Amino acid sequence: MVKIIPPHGYSVYRLEVARRHLYAGAGVLAVLLAGVLGWLGWDLRHLHAAAEVQRRQLVAVDRQARALDRTLLHIQRQNAEIRRIMGLAPAHTPSARVVMPPHQLSYRGGSETVQLRLAALERLAGSVGADQRTLRVQALRTAAERAVQAQARARALAAIPSIMPVDGPIVSGFGYRTYPDREFHAGLDIAAGYGAPVEAAADGYVAAAGWDGGYGIKVDIDHGNGYHSWYAHLERTLVHAGQAVKRGETIGLVGATGFATGPHLHYQLMLDGRAVDPTPFLHGTPQDVIASSK
């Protein structure tokens, strides 16, 4: 029984509660309490499981970030080696190293650390990408320059006399001789029959084509590099002054015009206005000349 006694002057109330009612209320309260505790336990387990999943995800992301970091650093080293080979200054790239052991990713701040690593990797990737684009442009420019240089060198070599201008044996060499006169012979006499084709020894332009005193009918080719080649005692010419010719192109026919004892080609090579021995140039450009043309 429960009595409720109000202040003076009010009626007294009496409440009677049976024992079985108390037991029933206590039972209901126990059930409610058990339910609340069970819900809290389930929620805590769920939060723990979610935290573990998040930790594993952070570890996986961190592992991938480390692998990407190694890949980017490898690309950096390759770019640096390319720069060294090309003679370029080293490139400055930011670091992506935000060091944190994987087991620490389960603690507070692990997510922030992974985000910092990813942000650093993003900066590094952007820098490496920019460096690669720069190297690509530089490589294309260098390749173009080398192609131009190679073409220029090919043109330079093509303009150096380097073939036998006519088929036949050499009957009189470069230097002093006693026949048919005692004199310095400034070229080569190559025996060949009347009308045999005479070929240009290198690319160039015809400086002159026609009669030249004791040389008879002669073609003078200017190769544009200090070299001139002369083809004398021709029967006739097949080119004219100012004409561009290529190595191996027929420029005239063998004859015996001028001071000649028989059909042959007088082949003379001039370098900067001075006669040089054509012999080393008959079967290819001499190595010392190739070296000087690089």
Q: What is the mean pLDDT of each run of 10 residues along the chain (294 residues)?
A: 57 60 68 70 70 69 72 75 73 54 49 69 74 79 82 86 94 82 87 96 96 96 95 97 96 95 95 94 79 61
Domain end marker among 158, 193, 221: 158
Looking at the structure, do residues 141 and 33 belong to the same domain, yes or no? Answer: yes
Residues 183 and 111 in one domain: no
Q: Decide which of 128, 158, 188 is a domain's last residue.
A: 158
Q: Residues 138, 191: one domain?
A: no
110-158 and 19-86 helices, crossing angle to 10° = 20
Neighbouring-strand partners of residue 276: 269
- For CA atoms 163, 165, 167, 170, the dihedral sign is negative
Same domain, 207 and 286: yes
Neighbours of 210 (CB within 10 A): 12
| CA dist., res. 81 & res. 173, Å (int) | 54
Last residue of a domain, one of 158, 185, 205: 158
* Environment class of 174 (CB within 10 Å of its CB; exposed 0-12, middle 13-18, buried 19+): buried
Structural domain boundaries, residue 139? 25-158
**Do 43 and 145 belong to one domain?**
yes
Residue 143 confidence (pLDDT): 80
Within this chain, do residues 29 and 153 fall inside the same structural domain, yes or no? yes
Is 49 in the same domain as 119? yes
Q: Does residue 6 lie in a domain region?
A: no
Residue 8 included in any domain: no
How far is Cα 130 from Cα 108, in angstroms, rounded to an integer?
35
Q: Within this chain, do residues 247 and 192 fall inside the same structural domain, yes or no? A: yes
Domain tally for the chain? 2
| 30 and 131 together in one domain | yes
In sequence order, what are the beta bridge partners of 206? 221
Residue 106 is predicted with a pLDDT of 46
153 with 235, same domain?
Answer: no
Provide the whole-model pTM.
0.57
Contact 289, 160 (CB under 8 A): yes
**41 shares its domain with 130:** yes
